[in-house]
Amino acid sequence: MNNFINKINFYHSIIFFLLSVSLAIIIDRFQFLNISPVICLLLILSIGISHGALDNQKGKKLTQLYNIKNSYFFYLLYSVIVIGIITFWLLFPTISLIIFLIIASYHFGKEDTEFLIRNRNVSNLILYFLKGSLIIIAPLMFHFTETINIFKLLLIQDENFYLFLNFIESNQILSFALLTSLFVNTYYFINNFKILNILIFFDFFSVVILNYFLTPLIAFTVYFCFLHSFRHSISLINELNENNFKNGAYVFVKKAMPLTLLTAVFYVLSLYFLSNYYQLNDAILKVIFIGLASLTFPHILLEYLLEKNEK
């Protein structure tokens, strides 16, 4: 079954690379063509967040491991963390953004690469971060002003933070960071070499192409929904049924649907509230990124606790 999953990942990376190139050509050829933030939001609410929609199932498993009989304790704790992250963001937006970017870089690097890596040593923690940092570096490098404007919409008003970003942009530090990410990808390609490792370069250049030709929001949406979330969903399907991928996919959709719909409802309610104070597109950006931050922290914590107990 692992060979079958590897084959899916292999063809998926090639298809995603072709999708990225096609989008780049279309956008470059037809300058007037643009994708509405509303479409980005819908994709994230459907395809994007669904890869974390089995957290409730994992939460039940975790409560059993800790001998907690009432599974509703997990839902309460998960909700408290989500609300706590949003509150902390509103009070300390700059610190929250920095922490989120660091954790997100590690998370993206880990989940986009882990299916190729067998050993889980400490050095991988740093390498995962450096690899995943491409998702943060690329928009800053190719669309610096637009990315800064998104940060400002996320309530970041600290001038020192922007002076720092201007410093790293004007001194070619972003180029160095991009090369570092490429170096880490090359390391993973060479280390424990197998032909499947070539996916690393397909993914790397897909992200670069998307961010070079597309706006930061669109590039992130395409990556998050069709590479990161899709790949993680494949691993979840395999966990649900190692012997029958089709049945596993059916169970995955069935189990993921309730939490996906519930999350989408909260997103829509938040958007409705914010649209009374901000323009729709600005409200969408706030809902997408602050909302993802609030979900990412408990999601990663849950994954960590499960891995720790499995070891």
b/e sequence 274-306, b meaning 16+ C-beta within 10 Å: beeeeeeebbbbbbbbbbbbbbbbbbbebbeee
Please write the tens of the pLDDT for every residue from 137-160: 999 999 999 999 999 999 899 999
Across all residues in the chain, what is the average pLDDT? 90
Per the structure, the complete domain to which residue 103 belongs is given by 2-310
pLDDT at 279 over 60: yes
Answer with the residue of higher pLDDT: 167 or 75. 167
Euclidean distance between CA atoms 10 and 16, whole angstroms: 10
For 71, the token pair is 């599974």
Answer with the residue of higher pLDDT: 3 or 31. 3
Total domains present in the chain: 1
pTM for the model stands at 0.93
DSSP 8-state class, residue 92 = S
The SS3 call for residue 34 is coil
What pLDDT score was predicted for residue 51?
Answer: 81
Please write the tens of the pLDDT for every residue from 171-206: 899 999 999 999 999 998 898 788 888 999 999 999
Cβ 225 vs Cβ 49: under 8 Å = no
Euclidean distance between CA atoms 121 and 20, whole angstroms: 32
pLDDT at 88 over 70: yes
What pLDDT score was predicted for residue 19?
Answer: 94
Euclidean distance between CA atoms 183 and 309, whole angstroms: 33
Q: Exposed, middle or buried, 142 (CB in 10 Å: 0-12/13-18/19+)?
A: buried
Radius of gyration of the chain from its Cα atoms, rounded to whole angstroms: 19
Kindly report the number of other CB atoms within 10 A of residue 70's CB atom. Answer: 9
Please write the tens of the pLDDT for every residue from 93-139: 999 999 999 999 999 999 888 877 766 676 788 889 999 999 999 99
pLDDT at 31 over 90: no
